[in-house]
Amino acid sequence: MKTGIAKINETEIYYEISGAGKPLVLVNGSSLDLQMWDAQINDFNEHFQVVRYDLRGIGKSAIPEKNFSHSKDIYHLLNFLDIEKAHVLGLSVGGAFAVDFAAEHPEMVDSLILAAAATSDLRDEFSEGLSALSAMAKEKGVSAPIETLLQIPTFIAPENVEAIQKTREILFRNAHIFEDDFPLIRFWQPPQIAINDMLSKITAPTLIIVGSKDDSAIHEIAEMLEKNINHSKRLFIEDAGHLVNMEKPREFNQSVINFLQELKTYRVNY
């Protein structure tokens, strides 16, 4: 595995690269660092050169102090790594960042995988919800918002003890984001373009993954994405909530690999 710090776009981004083959970039959600993909790495390494990184403001990456664009971070990171084109996989709000990047730079996206994805037009809703968690941390201590998240069945199924513990460890390791009011969202400046116009700019074949137990709002977004992105298809993973890759890694990994292998073999248009 290769690790490093990319000094790009007026910040420092920590990244890891493993495996060999076509690049596959993993974009994590707003409260989890790159270790949220641990259950994917071994399987994905057998087929792809996997690039995962900590979003600006989380993990080992620098904390933002002024407005910035997550999608521009992706662009500059790939340029830094001399990657001209890649498969891009984003989960939760990382899906929103992946959508923005795919719309802004369609020439750099070989395929797009959106898991439990949000969209950037919901920025205000993200900020409001996360600020409430931050206020809870300041009032009751950081364990309060973390345990609150872990008790939401649509976020992570209560019977999945292993995934809950893994998520708890990651959240506590990044406790500063609760205390600092989630700077990676507060300073995030998404593109100023209507979501339908943005989705129409995406040219890459797209797989949309959603856990069957995820919140109804995420299911509505998944349906909207499928309707508005050309060459897209939607796939459900049963008995999984929002953190579908951590709850059902075997099913998730195989779904992603099957999709990408099918594209490689047949160049199927969905």
3-state SS track over 44-91:
HHCCEEEEEECCCCCCCCCCCCCCECHHHHHHHHHHHCCCCCEEEEEE
pLDDT for the residue 265: 64
Examine residue 117 and state whether it is found in any structural domain, yes or no. yes
CA angle 54, 162, 37 (to 5 degrees): 25
- Distance (Å, whole) CA 269 – CA 266: 9
pLDDT per residue, tens digit, the chain (270 aa), is: 999 999 999 999 999 999 999 999 999 998 899 999 999 999 999 999 999 999 999 999 999 999 999 999 999 999 999 999 999 999 999 999 999 999 999 999 999 999 999 999 998 888 888 889 999 999 999 999 999 999 999 999 888 999 999 999 999 999 999 999 999 999 999 999 999 999 999 999 999 999 999 999 999 999 999 999 999 999 999 999 999 999 999 999 999 999 999 987 655 444
Examine residue 99 and state whether it is found in any structural domain, yes or no. yes
Residues 6+ apart with CB under 8 A from 100: 69, 70, 71, 120, 190, 191, 198
CATH number at residue 201: 3.40.50.1820
Phi and psi dihedrals of 58, rounded to 5? -145, 160
Examine residue 39 and state whether it is found in any structural domain, yes or no. yes
Examine residue 179 and state whether it is found in any structural domain, yes or no. no
Which residue is associated with the tokens 């205000």? 124
Q: Which amino acid is at 106?
A: P
Q: Which amino acid is at 194?
A: A
Examine residue 136 and state whether it is found in any structural domain, yes or no. no
The strand pair at 109-115 and 232-237 is best described as: unpaired
Examine residue 257 and state whether it is found in any structural domain, yes or no. yes
pLDDT for the residue 267: 53
3-state secondary structure of 97: helix
* Total structural domains within the chain: 1
Do residues 37 and 245 make contact, with C-beta atoms less than 8 angstroms apart? Answer: yes
Q: Which domain holds residue 37?
A: 2-122+191-266
pLDDT for the residue 214: 96
Examine residue 173 and state whether it is found in any structural domain, yes or no. no
> What pTM did the predictor assign?
0.96
Q: Which amino acid is at 45?
A: N
Examine residue 38 and state whether it is found in any structural domain, yes or no. yes
